Amino acid sequence: MRFLLLWLLLLATNLSIASTTTPIQYHFTPTDAAHHLAHVSITFPNVTSKTFQVKLPVWRSGRYEILDLSKAVSSFYAQDLHGQAIQWEKSDKNSWKLFLNHPGPVTIGYQIYANTLKQRVIHIDSTHAFLDASGVFMFSPAFRDHPLTVSLDVPNHWQSRSGMEKSSSHQFVADNYDQLVDSPIETGVHEFLSFQLDQQNYEIVIWGEGNHDIADIKTKVSLLHHEAKKIWETFPYKRYVYIFHAGDQLRGATEHVNSTIIQQNRFNFKPRKPYLKVLSTTAHELIHTWNVKAYRPAGIAPYDYSKENYSDLFWMAEGITSYYDDLFLLRAGIFKPKEYFAQMAEHMKNHLDNPGRKVESLAQSSFDTWLKDDAQQSHNAAVSIYLEGNMVAWRLDQEIRSLTDNQYGLDQLQKLLYQRHHNTNQGYHKQDVLNLLEEITGHNMNAFWQAYVEGTQAIDFDQLLFFYGLQKTPKEPSADAAWIGANLNIEGEFVGIKTVDSDSPAWHAGLTMGDQLLSINGIKLSPDNVKIRLKQLTIGTSYEIHYFSAGRLRTTTITPVDTPNPDFFIEPVDKPDRQQKARFKSWAGQDLVPRKK
């Protein structure tokens, strides 16, 4: 009865579930670096409900895949202010329900296994700890908007960095859980550099040994800052943190609200070619600070951390960003035009070589991005929101320029999305985009959308290139014109098949993903000779293939045909006209130099 009266008193005085002054306290303590273990405790102030739920996300922002992050949690417990155990039960794979005997502060704790560095979630060793809160820190839906502190019990000589503001050397503060989950923490021994551009403060953090040059990275990201300012004019952050991990077999990156985590092989920062890929990734993540963080599709605004978040506009978040990353490098003068043209040709070739582009639309791919099919199925029946979105973004940019006599381009759409939909809790819809496109161009863009976004209409690349004074130039005829339609895995001892194009010679020969090729006309195939052997095949000639499929020795016949998509260069036309030069200049940020005969 006493407990019930207290409960009613709290409700009568209009107190909310949580205090509005006392922050939630998160504590993180590495306990066994060699075995990647840590202890987490969280204290929620003044819980007044009889049952109290805590959860860990099942995915993390920036990666649209269910990761089931709670599999790293063990030894969960809950207790009250006096250290008395609170009864609890696990209600589903990522939720714990607590049963309180009386109101007051509640502390939960658990052990976390911290060894998912390649997934950019959490990692602990003797030199550092990297924390993406989605895989480390639980939250209560009732306290999601509550202020919080994060304290790290780490060695004194370590340095702690994050997009969150510091309250002490190893403590951060956040307005709510959403800010915490979008602000990864890097604490440990690392290189550090800070500088200011305009009114924005930048920090570069590099953990790991490699061939990087932090001063040169500063120079390059400074150029990216100025390119971003040209499009969006203002910045959604006052401070931005670049976190780099340099290590063995590391790749990938994740955007966050005012920071990014970029992972690279430790020796990818030299020579120039791999370094340009690092810089392209860096540009990609910075662009995401606007396109997906400052404005994003309605399906992921706000985030629901406990299930898939669906949208048929994911291609705008990822594909448009992929379109801009290399373009930023070109406009900034980091890419030479010839290097950019080579990248463009590679993207086009990958697009043309993907049979799935004739089957699945960008809208479908966006909605189904949570589905992870095997490589063979995806190759023939699906498209990537990154690659296909890149190609359609390029085509959309051209369409806008064509309809406005080059007065506007895709930059204007991005600027207006930022101005009109800069609210992380209210995303934009398809009709919002179409309305903005009509505002920019003065034309209804429904037909374009139905053809290229909701349909699978092929892009006329010759026309698209010519618009900018560019052209495809076939490479010299080569022996690889004989095509079988199989993508090979030639690492290790065997020649394996990654994917087979539908309706290709390899497809009709019965070859499929996972098969191991043994010989052609009785002569052994090996990783060392397979490329040469395939180049020696003759179009229209039948060859006997021995191979293993599902562990059984099999024989088939394959007849190469002409390659449907011959290799090509992209280069300027001989005599670009005035309009082509003007379009190229406004698009690429530099003059078009005609090719030399």
Reduce the secondary structure of 431-458 to three states and give it as a string: HHHHHHHHHHHCCCCHHHHHHHHCCCCC
Q: Which residues of the chain have pLDDT under 50?
A: 1-19, 479
Q: Model-level pTM greater than 0.75?
A: yes
Which residue, 173, 124, 182, 121, is CA-closest to 150? Answer: 173
Hey, what are 9's tokens? 């008193």
* One-letter amino acid of 368: D
Q: What is the pLDDT of residue 423?
A: 81
HEC per residue, 76-89: EEEECCCCCECEEE
Hey, what are 27's tokens? 């504590």
The CATH class of 2-185 is mainly beta
Whether the ω angle into residue 302 lies within 30 degrees of 0, i.e. cis, is yes
Q: DSSP for 136-149?
A: T--B-GGGTTS-EE
Q: What is the pLDDT of residue 77?
A: 98
Hey, what are 302's tokens? 């706000």
Q: What is the pLDDT of residue 477?
A: 64
Which residue, 314, 318, 257, 309, is CA-closest to 58? Answer: 309
Torsion of CA 558, 563, 565, 571, to 10 degrees: 140
Q: Which residues are bridge partners to 109 per DSSP?
A: 41, 77
pLDDT in tens, 41-71: 999 999 999 999 999 999 998 899 999 999 9
Identical fold for domains 191-289 and 316-468, yes or no, is: yes
**In this structure, how many other beta carbons lie within 10 angstroms of the beta carbon of residue 96?**
22
Contacts of residue 539, Cβ cutoff 8 Å, sequence gap at least 6: 481, 482, 560, 561, 562
Q: What is the pLDDT of residue 1?
A: 47
Hey, what are 345's tokens? 């040709």
Measure the CA–CA gap between 50 and 98, rounded to whole angstroms. Answer: 8
Contact between 511 and 547 under an 8 Å Cβ cutoff? The reply is yes
Q: At what angle do helices 314-331 and 578-588 cross, to 10 degrees?
A: 110
Q: What is the pLDDT of residue 4?
A: 45
Contacts of residue 146, Cβ cutoff 8 Å, sequence gap at least 6: 18, 23, 24, 176, 177
Q: What is the pLDDT of residue 478?
A: 58
Q: Which residues are bridge partners to 123 per DSSP?
A: 115, 130
Q: At what angle do helices 387-403 and 410-420 cross, to 10 degrees?
A: 100
HEC per residue, 98-116: EECCCCEEEEEEEEEECEE
The CATH class of 316-468 is mainly alpha
Domains of the chain, residue spans: 2-185, 191-289, 316-468, 479-562
Query: Which residue is listed with tokens 């209804």?
Result: 444
Q: What is the pLDDT of residue 16?
A: 39
| Phi, psi values for residue 400, rounded to 5° | -65, -45
Within a 13 Å sphere around the CA of 30, how many CA atoms are in the beta-carbon half?
A: 22
Contact between 154 and 145 under an 8 Å Cβ cutoff? The reply is no
**Burial call 234-266: b when 16+ CB within 10 Å, e when fewer:** ebbbebbbbbbbbbeebeebbbbbbbbbbbbbb
The sign of the CA dihedral 562, 565, 567, 570 is: positive
DSSP letter at 525 equals: P
Measure the CA–CA gap between 29 and 36, rounded to whole angstroms. Answer: 11
Q: What is the pLDDT of residue 576?
A: 96
Hey, what are 526's tokens? 């090996």
Contact between 260 and 254 under an 8 Å Cβ cutoff? The reply is yes
Contact between 488 and 497 under an 8 Å Cβ cutoff? The reply is yes
**Burial call 538-567: b when 16+ CB within 10 Å, e when fewer:** eeeeebebbbeeeeeeeebebbbeebeebe
Within a 13 Å sphere around the CA of 122, how many CA atoms are in the beta-carbon half?
A: 29
Query: Which residue is listed with tokens 């006209």?
Result: 577
Within a 13 Å sphere around the CA of 588, how many CA atoms are in the beta-carbon half?
A: 27
- Counting beta carbons within 10 angstroms of the beta carbon of residue 44, is it exposed (0 to 12), middle (13 to 18) or buried (19 or more)? buried
Measure the CA–CA gap between 168 and 165, rounded to whole angstroms. Answer: 9
Torsion of CA 6, 9, 15, 17, to 10 degrees: 40
| First-last CA distance in the chain | 94
| Structural fold of domain 191-289 | Neutral Protease; domain 2 (1.10.390)
Hey, what are 281's tokens? 């990734």
Measure the CA–CA gap between 135 and 114, rounded to whole angstroms. Answer: 9
Within a 13 Å sphere around the CA of 207, how many CA atoms are in the beta-carbon half?
A: 25
Q: CATH assignment of 479-562?
A: 2.30.42.10
For the chain, how many helices (H) and strands (E)?
16, 30
Q: What is the pLDDT of residue 481?
A: 75
Q: What is the pLDDT of residue 487?
A: 94
Hey, what are 4's tokens? 């019930």
